[in-house]
Amino acid sequence: MLVLGIETSCDETGIALYDTESGLLSHALYSQVHMHEEYGGVVPELASRDHIRRVLPLTRQVLDQAGLQLADLSAIAYTEGPGLAGALLVGASIAASLGFALKLPIVGVHHLEGHLLAPLLEPDPPAFPFVALLVSGGHTQLMRVDGVGQYQLLGETLDDAAGEAFDKSAKLMGLGYPGGPALARLAQTGQIGHYKLPRPMLASGDLNFSFSGLKTAVMLVAKQAAVNHANLAAEVQEAIADVLAAKAIAALKQTGLTRLVVAGGVGANARLRERLSQAMPPGAAVYYPKLEFCTDNGAMIAFAGAMRLQHADARYGFSVKPRWDLAQLEAP
């Protein structure tokens, strides 16, 4: 089965081709970061319009890279949600139009399920069951994963997500947009131990998170005179990594599982990866997608769609779900 994946949930247009026999054949990504940089954040209307400009040219690009044509497709997968409503509608309408014209089945994919399954694209994928740490700009969750569509929520953030904590802290330090990667780069030149920042809910006894208090503490420090931003960035990164690592290890112990999957944009953070590797208990292993598949991309949508389309019926209507709880998904 050859599946075309279309990702348009926010500010990146991702297209990919996944073959259930040969694996990932080609993929392409266009980021709108430079367009939104002027505004200090994503402008939904601009994002939607840019997706319209990019989807079809990128589709032609990945088909050319693989030496294939639209007629070779078996099915189409698109991001159904969560995300920006207008941006989601672009991918959904193009997927539905292609599906109707080519008489192909289409399937809507949960954006977070795509992230969660992205490590399965690797040559040595984790076997089910495993614990998944989903960390992105808008989500921080711990899930028990027993199979495709078999997800149990173990804990989640009660306020800001880890990615928001990175971005908002960066903004308080005047680092610009996108803040998270800028803060991580600055942290490489700083040292920890110069500023005392909280590790929210580290000793809460559950698997939930909270990062709003960390953001407030950063704001108070940033207002002080002669603040060393490199040292502050290093401490922010360390605080977030400490909490994420501790909760992830606690989830492994609570479930009795030995495999941890880290997915989402924050999963690309080098210090977080280092802390998790250091904290792994004996006999446990941690899995990551490639760095290029940590952020939004079409490959994860094509793959997740292929997993579901093997059991799904053809349909030509479409829907989008800007708000969509991952725990509500059912197995295909």
Summarize pLDDT for 36-77 with one digit per residue, the tens: 988 888 999 999 999 999 999 999 999 999 999 999 999 999
Q: Evaluate if residue 332 carries a pLDDT over 80.
A: no
Q: pLDDT tens across 251-271, in order? A: 999 999 999 999 999 999 999
Q: What is the pLDDT of residue 64?
A: 98
d(C-alpha 60, C-alpha 48), whole Å: 20
d(C-alpha 43, C-alpha 33), whole Å: 11
* Range 199-225 average pLDDT: 93
Question: What CA–CA distances, in Å, run from 307 to 13, 109, 161, 223, 274?
Answer: 21, 10, 28, 50, 31
DSSP 181-196: HHHHHHHTT--TTSS-
Of 196 and 312, the structure prediction assigns the larger pLDDT to 196
Q: Are 99 and 105 in contact (CB under 8 A)?
A: yes
Radius of gyration of the chain, Cα coordinates, nearest whole angstrom: 20
d(C-alpha 321, C-alpha 117), whole Å: 20
Q: What is the Cα 300 distance to its own chain's centre?
A: 10
* Range 139-154 average pLDDT: 94
Q: Tell me the angle at which helices 229-255 and 179-187 cross, rounded to the nearest 10 degrees.
A: 100
Q: Which domains does the chain have, with CATH numbers?
A: 2-116+293-328 (3.30.420.40), 128-288 (3.30.420.40)
Q: Are 116 and 263 in contact (CB under 8 A)?
A: yes
Of 239 and 330, the structure prediction assigns the larger pLDDT to 239
CA neighbor of 301 nearest in space, from 107, 148, 126: 107
Q: Evaluate if residue 274 carries a pLDDT over 70.
A: yes
* Range 159-188 average pLDDT: 93
Q: Evaluate if residue 192 carries a pLDDT over 80.
A: yes
Query: What does pTM read for this prediction?
Result: 0.92
Q: Evaluate if residue 313 carries a pLDDT over 60.
A: no
CA neighbor of 302 nearest in space, from 34, 77, 32, 25: 77
Percent of all residues in the chain with a pLDDT value above 90, rounded to a whole number: 85
The token duo for 125 is: 């994928």
Percent of all residues in the chain with a pLDDT value above 70, rounded to a whole number: 98
Q: What is the pLDDT of residue 311?
A: 65
Size (the chain), residues: 332
Phi and psi angles of residue 236, each rounded to the nearest 5 degrees, phi first? -60, -50
Handedness of CA 294, 295, 299, 302 (dihedral sign): positive
* Range 156-165 average pLDDT: 94
Q: Are 320 and 89 in contact (CB under 8 A)?
A: yes
Residues contacting residue 53 through CB under 8 Å, at least 6 positions apart: none
**Category of 283 on φ-ψ map: left (φ > 0), alpha (ψ -120 to 50) or beta:** left
* Range 293-310 average pLDDT: 94
Q: What is the pLDDT of residue 312?
A: 59
